[in-house]
Structure 1
Amino acid sequence: MSDSSVPERDRPDACPGAVQVHPAADGGLARVRVPGGVLSAEQARVVVGAAVELGNSTVELTSRANLQLRGVEDPGELGRRLGEAGLLPSATHERVRNIVASPYAGLDGPTRLPVSRVVEELDHGLRSVPALAELPGRFLFTVDDGRGDVSALGGDVGLLPVSAHRVAVLLAGADSGVRVPPERAAAAAVTAAEGFLAERARNGSGAWRMAELATTRPVSDTVCARHGAREADVVEVTPASWAESGQQGKPRPGVVGRDEDAVAVEVGAPLGRLSPAQTHSIIRAAEAASGFVRLTPWRTVILTGVPERDHRSWLSELHSCGLLVEPSAPLSGVTACAGYPGCAKSLADVHRDAARGTSRGEAAAPGALPVHWVGCSRRCGLPRGPVVEVLAEPSGYRVSAGTPQERVTWASEADPDVAAEVANRARHAGAVRTAGTPRAGFGNGRASNDRDTTNEDDR
């Protein structure tokens, strides 16, 4: 059900794709959808090659386990390369293939849902329905293995197994009460997407997200009639309930799973960005293991099938090129929006400020809150749930902690170094208020009139 905070959409969604690039301040911004986050080493090699030869060399990891390239000058050539690599199977549907899957599925025991198969079926189903090309680029599907990690991301349509034979269908991040068998899960998600478009058209709405509909009941009724049944008992799926359950909704650099003589290791991209050297190091490690990588919504990469006898040497190599291989690394759990100069709306170079200030800070302690640096009030890429936000304002950074509904300010008008220091204290101590700190030499001298806080970018 929508409320007064839901934005009225008066324009079509303009979320970028791999071919339909966004004209950012630093050039064309291309977003490469990777359904389920699984990427072969060869595909990763194509992506980094395109970044170096067609863009600014950097590969960005997004909060939807996708990839971004910046400064793209030839979208046509990018599309051709991605198509040959199997990363652009449909030019008409490429912007709507936002499918996030539990990245740890199968790494720590059996799962209730065959995640990889469901992702493949869902991706194929979306591409098989011509009308679904009209889905907004921000429309998100989540395929959960039962632990609740990606369900708590608040997708538009979610699949969450509640037993070996029943899968809960989530709409707008909440349990609809509809239950379907696992073999019907992907088809149910496709039907829900069709239902969203039908309900949007029926109401003459310009909604981009399921939560922006007046009600999701007609959508759930359609899914129920075609694929399953409705139950009175619903499961609670929120970032808070997810955290209380002990599931990990944050980076876990290091070893994250073992299977006989092989391990899975997770490495973090500092502030979500990979240099060519870092990407090539990941590719080499993947080629020596399973040949594949998994991208996570927490801007990390998981390498599966790494021989146990070699994993320490691989972690050492990955660490030597600046990747995060331990959960205690100061930059672990720290993210940032594009910032200035890449984004024209940003009031500060948040990547520079976050990297300089955080890298000098103390190690991240277990249970520390994530930290997100943002250049303006749009708050692009802000993680769900409790978080420390470092927000650039005309007079300096404001540091606050908590959730959007309950946030405590720790500092205001802070310069970058003070903001980083305060953010580090806030992420370890919770929501204890501290005094404001005056600014010093902040920002780029620009003012922002943007007061949109809907986090529309959802990178």
Structure 2
Amino acid sequence: MTRQVPDSCPGVLRLHAAADGPLARIRVPGGRVEPEQLVALAEAARELGDGNIELTSRGNVQLRQVRDAGELTGRLEAVGLLPSHTHERVRNIVASPLSGRIGGSADVHGLVPVLDAGLLAAPRLAELPGRVLFTLDDGRGDISGLGGDIGVHATGTDEFALILAGHDSGIRISAADAVDVMLAAAHGFLDLRGDDAGRWRLHDIEDGADRVAELLGLSRGSDRVELSAAQDIPIGWLDQDNGLVALGAGVRLGSLPARTAEFIAAVERPVFITPWRSLVLPDLDEWTAEQVVRVLAPMELIFDANSPWLQVSACAGRPGCAKSRTDVRADVTAAVESGRVLPPDPNPPAPQDIPLLDATEVTVAGRQHWSGCDRRCGRPHTPVTDIVATDTGHYQSSPKPT
């Protein structure tokens, strides 16, 4: 697949001209944000943006309606959120949020800063499109199914499967070699991509995964890890293997108010942003965890795994997107608050199109994604019911797998 235009994925130095104003996307490798960084993001959101920090499906963050790009750049540089002007858009690294704390075959969080440093140290890798995604899965299968370009999937305490274009390549590597091999695969992608700026992802290149594997020159076994996308958001009280507690918190439609972010930062623990637009606050003792829930639950963070808010996602909609046919987020909020987002059906009906419905009539069970147009931006990789706005102002709902 070759597109006619180069990748225009936004960053901090190249803002996206959204309908409601400039949008900045800030890369957060591994989703890890330190307390002082979260404070800086909250202050920037309130003083330079619309007052919210948007969480993305790659564990990054966005600020909308940015009023002073230069000031934002300086603030992010001061707290380490913009370590490079040349490589800022290529630092797309997602990792299993609970790795090293709860379950998993290997702790992949230690690979994140090493991979990030390797990307920053290679001048040529600044040429990677901003869409390229690196994935680090600790073996539980929560990350490898996200359709990344280059990644590793733990198959033992010191063995990883090399993932290329979202599939197991058959190559097995050690933890010590994992980052070097991923970086070599990134160079291989650029070799195959050549001057074709329309090839944004590895799967855009015919037989791209096999060709990169051949360039690496590593032996390939016959065993393959079966990968699938899973919507298993870590929510609520999570007992860590070391006796401490992690808290998983959902964020309504992935939009975190600046004031709430400042309260989270006051816990003085690192925060992990997940690819499901939620948060993990790790390494808490039980008393602290209880106080965090007591304070943050009334601020609309979601600690209940059965909340209907965890069943819904949505594109930006109006007024943020000029292509959207309606204010999608207002419509989905009304659906949740009026009880029209139902629990998953254990015996779902066969997929079928549902007639056009007014926004106030849409009632759907289970995982669903609301879109303001046929592009369906932000649609998760897991099976969902698509609820898409039409030109008539109604919605067309159609259950279909990814």
By how many angstroms is 1:250 displaced?
A: 3.0
What letter matches 1:45 in structure 2?
Answer: V
2:179 aligned with 1:158, yes or no? Answer: no
- Counterpart of 2:220 in structure 1 is 230
| 3-state SS in 1 of match to 2:370 | strand
By how many angstroms is 1:356 displaced?
A: 1.6
Equivalent-residue separation in structure 1 for 2:166 and 2:336 (angstroms): 32
Pick the aligned partner of 2:325 from 331, 335, 347. Answer: 347
By how many angstroms is 1:309 displaced?
A: 2.1
Q: How does 1:390-405 map to 2 (within 5 A)?
A: 390-395=387-392, 396-404=394-402
Q: How does 1:10-89 map to 2 (within 5 A)?
A: 10-89=4-83
Q: How does 1:320-339 map to 2 (within 5 A)?
A: 320-339=298-317
Pick the aligned partner of 1:276 from 258, 261, 265. Answer: 258
Equivalent-residue separation in structure 2 for 1:54 and 1:364 (angstroms): 37
Equivalent-residue separation in structure 1 for 2:366 and 2:179 (angstroms): 33
Equivalent pair of 1:38/1:293 in contact (CA under 8 Å) = yes
Q: How does 1:57-206 map to 2 (within 5 A)?
A: 57-109=51-103, 111-201=104-194, 204=196, 206=198
CA offset digits 1:235-286 (Å, max 9, x no partner): 22122xxx5xxxxx3323211233555210011110110112221222223x
Equivalent-residue separation in structure 1 for 2:342 and 2:175 (angstroms): 39
By how many angstroms is 1:40 displaced?
A: 0.4
Equivalent pair of 1:327/1:364 in contact (CA under 8 Å) = no
By how many angstroms is 1:84 displaced?
A: 0.8
- Give the TM-score, by structure 1 length: 0.80
What letter matches 1:276 in structure 2?
Answer: A
Equivalent-residue separation in structure 2 for 1:105 and 1:60 (angstroms): 23
By how many angstroms is 1:364 displaced?
A: 6.1
Equivalent pair of 2:34/2:271 in contact (CA under 8 Å) = yes
Equivalent-residue separation in structure 2 for 1:205 and 1:84 (angstroms): 32
What letter matches 1:382 in structure 2?
Answer: R
| 3-state SS in 2 of match to 1:136 | coil
What letter matches 2:257 in structure 1?
Answer: S
Equivalent pair of 2:342/2:366 in contact (CA under 8 Å) = no
What letter matches 1:306 in structure 2?
Answer: L
What letter matches 2:45 in structure 1?
Answer: A
- Counterpart of 1:412 in structure 2 is none
Equivalent-residue separation in structure 2 for 1:260 and 1:175 (angstroms): 31
| 3-state SS in 1 of match to 2:64 | strand
- Counterpart of 2:290 in structure 1 is 312
What letter matches 1:358 in structure 2?
Answer: V
- Counterpart of 1:301 in structure 2 is 279
What letter matches 2:330 in structure 1?
Answer: R
Q: How does 1:447-458 map to 2 (within 5 A)?
A: none
Runs (4+) off by over 6 Å: none
What letter matches 1:230 in structure 2?
Answer: R
Mark the CA change 1:352 to 1:174 in structure 2 (over 3 Å): closer, same or farther. Answer: same
Equivalent-residue separation in structure 1 for 2:207 and 2:337 (angstroms): 45
| 3-state SS in 2 of match to 1:280 | helix
CA offset digits 1:410-448 (Å, max 9, x no partner): xxxxxxxxxxxxxxxxxxxxxxxxxxxxxxxxxxxxxxx
Pick the aligned partner of 1:263 from 245, 266, 276. Answer: 245
CA offset digits 1:368-406 (Å, max 9, x no partner): 7422111111111101121122111112111122314xx
Mark the CA change 1:362 to 1:235 in structure 2 (over 3 Å): closer, same or farther. Answer: same
By how many angstroms is 1:322 displaced?
A: 1.3
- Counterpart of 1:213 in structure 2 is 205
- Counterpart of 1:452 in structure 2 is none
Mark the CA change 1:55 to 1:9 in structure 2 (over 3 Å): closer, same or farther. Answer: same
Equivalent-residue separation in structure 2 for 1:79 and 1:205 (angstroms): 27
What letter matches 1:199 in structure 2?
Answer: L
| 3-state SS in 2 of match to 1:335 | strand
Equivalent-residue separation in structure 1 for 2:283 and 2:156 (angstroms): 28
| 3-state SS in 1 of match to 2:240 | strand
The count of residues paired between Structure 1 and Structure 2 equals: 381
What letter matches 2:397 in structure 1?
Answer: V
What letter matches 2:220 in structure 1?
Answer: R
Mark the CA change 1:123 to 1:350 in structure 2 (over 3 Å): closer, same or farther. Answer: same
